[in-house]
Structure 1
Amino acid sequence: MTDARRLKIKIQIHSGEEIAMGPGKADLLDAIREHGSISAAGRAMGMSYRRAWLLVDTMNRCWDTPLVQTAPGRSAMSGAHLTAQGESVLAHYRALQAGVARSARGPHYDALAACLLPCPRTSQKG
C-alpha cells in the first residue's frame, strides 16, 4: 500500500471572481497549441467542446488581449491558436509553477507532510 499523503500546491490567478489561469487552463492552452483546435484539445483532455470553449472564453475575457484566437471554417487557417499574449501568459505561468515547485520543498513542506494523515478519518469523533 502506498502512502497517500501528498501536498499539492497549485497556482490560480484571478481576475475578479474568475480564475484567469490555473493548472487546467494552462494544460488546455498546451493542448490547443498541440492540436490546433479547441474541440481536438478538449477531446485530448477528456472534456467536452463546450467545457473547453467556456474555459477559453473565460481566459480571453480575463486578460487585456485574448489568449486564444479562433478562425471558423475548413481552410488551412481555420481552428484555434495561441496568440502572442497566450504564449507569453502560458510561459510566465509555467515558469511560476516551476519556481513554486522548487521552493515548496523544504522545512515547511516537510512539517506539513509529517502531520498529514495518509487518508481522512471517517469521523471527527474518536
Structure 2
Amino acid sequence: MDTPPPRIKLRLEYDTPLVLGPGKAQLLRLIGQHGSISAAGRQMGMSYKRAWSLVEEMNAAFATPLVDSSRGGAGGGGARVTATGQAVLRHYEALERLLTDKGAADLAAIGGLMRGQDR
C-alpha cells in the first residue's frame, strides 16, 4: 500500500510582523473567486471579523494593499484581490510547487525514516 506524500504547509514569517501561510493564501484565493471577504470567510469557517482582520494584517504589511474592498449598502459591497495580491499569491504558490517538486527526494527520505515505514 502506497502512502500519500506529505502535505507541505509553507509558512513565511516576516519581521513586519506578518506570517503568510496556507490560511491567508486560501483567503486570498477565495476573495478572488467570490469577490467578497465575508463569503470567503464563511467558506473557510471563520467570522467576517476574523477574515477582515487577516485582510487588514496583510494589507498593512505590504507597500500596496493585497485586497481592495468597498463598503456594503443598497448596491452591496465587494472585494477584489489587487495586482499586488495576485502577485503575492502567485509567488507563494510557486514556492509551494518548488518545495514539492524539487524536495520530493528529501521528503521521501524523511518519510522513509519514520516509524512504521518499510525500510
**1:6-25 correspondence runs (5 A):** 7-16=6-15, 18-25=17-24
**Following TM superposition, by how much is the alpha carbon of 1:95 offset from its aligned partner in structure 2, in angstroms?**
1.4
Larger-Rg structure:
1
Q: CA deviation at 1:73?
A: 2.4
User: Residues 36-75 of structure 1: matches in 2 within 5 Å?
Assistant: 36-74=35-73
Report what 1:31 is aligned to: 30
1:41 CA drift (Å): 0.5
AA in 2 matched with 1:52: A
Please list every run of 5 or more consecutive structure 1 residues that lacks an aligned counterpart in the other structure.
119-126
Residue in 1 that maps onto 2:77:
78
Higher relative contact order (CA 8 A, sep 6+): 1
SS in 2 for 1:81: strand
**Farther off after superposition, 44-53 or 71-80:** 71-80
TM-score, normalised relative to structure 1 = 0.78
1:69-108: CA deviations, max 9, x gaps? 11102365721111111111111111111111111211x2
Shift of the alpha carbon at 1:14? 2.3
The alignment covers a number of residue pairs equal to: 116
| Aligned equivalent of 1:93 | 92
1:109 paired residue among 100, 107, 113: 107
Give the RMSD, CA atoms, in angstroms: 2.4
Partners of 1:81 and 1:91 in 2: CA distance: 15
Q: Which is further off, 109-118 or 21-30? A: 109-118
Relative to structure 1, the CA distance from residue 41 to residue 115 in structure 2 (aligned partners, 3 Å threshold; closer, same or farther) is same
TM-score by length of 2: 0.82
Deviation at 1:3, TM superposition (A): 8.4
Q: 1:20 to 1:69 in 2, by over 3 A?
A: farther
The runs of 5 or more residues in structure 2 that have no matched partner are: none
